[in-house]
Amino acid sequence: MNNLAVFTLAVLTACNVCAQIPPDWPKQTPFLSIPYYFYNHQVIPTPLKVLYQNDPLMRQRDATITLLLREVKELSKRLAETNVMVEKVKKEMTNELSNLQYELAHVKNLAEEKAEGSQSQSNDNWQTGIKSQTELLATAFENPTTGSDGEATPRALFCNCLQLTSATKTLRKDVDDAKLKLTDLTVSTGPKTIGKIPNSCADLLLLGYHRSGIYSVMGNKQVESVYCDFTKSSSDAGFQTAIGIVDTKTIRVSFHAQRVADYTAIGTTVPFDVLRTNEGNAMKESGIFTAPTSGTYFFAYSGVSLDPNNARVDMEKMGATETDWIKVGRAYAASDNFETFSLNAILRLSKGDKIRLILVEGKIHDVPFRFTNYVGTLLDEDL
């Protein structure tokens, strides 16, 4: 019998056997749970224990398969965590891209205003290069490589993140180069100015600021902190948001004055023997305080009475362009020796305004223990 005849006989025999296999034959498992007829003979499943005895390596193979399944499950978990991390990186880099694109557009607009004439050709070159980078980044996540289920594969996400990181770095370098070129273009025209201290986000935008953030601007009388959202139009409500007041002073003003002896000259300004602190040199030992700058001031006075009758000390103010003293407040002690009396005041003063304490009635008691204390400080300055 030749080889062809042998092959033909084998094929026919196999087909005859296949024809006898029941249609619900469990092809997915090598072990039968119920009897089947195969080759016209009943087949009884072999118990697992017997199989282990007949094949000593089967138990080891089952253990290995179980271990592999556990490792596959762990790898699936790690893959899911990796996908989350990739999505986070993609979001961060996309936000950075958005900021860079906005910054680039602003730089290009400024450059187009300054780059007319002989330098227009060189500007076209670097603007074209940056534009190509922007277009590349804009499609970085639009066409990721997908698997058979239509979802982006981890490899595609990873590659897109790498592409975004690389392209963003390139764009950042191009934007920095653009700023340098823009600086060169503006040298001939000199520094840009709006003719005043900026007092709003709109003024900052005119000066060339275009990155959203917190800035300091000049308010009505003080420096204010504002948040500028340059992604919005200057007419939008959220373009400028007030944050607070910046504690800015052109001069430091504070003093602490004391006496070391009794004072009894009724109707006169109370003088002081010691100036422990006198920043700004606004307080004199004569007892006259002169405001070196306009703003809000705090004053506090305390002392001890000596006369058995009432004791009164008034605080008075005289404007820089005035000639009369006006009473601000009074420290009062009833008819008793060694009674403490005090006075506090917060005043808005203009530059050159004067403040004094005047003994109206009674006596001020003092010894080297220094019962009398008079302090003042500048809280807020009008700029």
Q: Report pLDDT digits (tens) over 277-302.
A: 999 999 999 999 999 999 999 999 99
Specify the CATH number for 254-381; select among 3.40.50.2020, 2.60.120.40, 3.40.50.261, 3.40.50.10300: 2.60.120.40
Query: Does position 250 have pLDDT exceeding 50, yes or no?
Result: yes
pLDDT at 186: 47
**What are the backbone angles phi and psi of residue 239, rounded to the nearest 5°?**
-65, -40
Query: Does position 119 have pLDDT exceeding 50, yes or no?
Result: no
Query: Angle formed by the axes of helices 120-138 and 57-114, to 10°?
Result: 150
pLDDT at 59: 63
Of 134-143, 173-182, 207-216, 261-270, the poorest mean pLDDT is in: 134-143
pLDDT at 126: 55
User: What would the two tokens of residue 15 be?
Assistant: 């087909």
Instruction: Tell me if residue 80 falls in helix, strand or coil.
Output: helix
User: What would the two tokens of residue 270 be?
Assistant: 């109370």
Query: Does position 269 have pLDDT exceeding 80, yes or no?
Result: yes
Nearest to 112 by CA among 99, 95, 124, 96: 124
pLDDT at 367: 84
pLDDT at 205: 85
Better pLDDT: 295 or 26 = 295
- Strand stretches in 129-253, DSSP E: 213-218, 223-228, 240-246
pLDDT at 26: 45
Write down the residue that tokens 């009388």 correspond to: 221
Query: Does position 27 have pLDDT exceeding 50, yes or no?
Result: no
Q: Which residues are CB-contacts of 37 (< 8 A; sequence separation ≥ 6)?
A: 20, 22, 43
CA distance 340 to 373: 11
Write down the residue that tokens 């400028």 correspond to: 240
Strand partners, 36: 43
Query: Does position 89 have pLDDT exceeding 90, yes or no?
Result: no
| pLDDT band (50, 70, 90) for residue 83 | confident
CA distance 207 to 225: 17
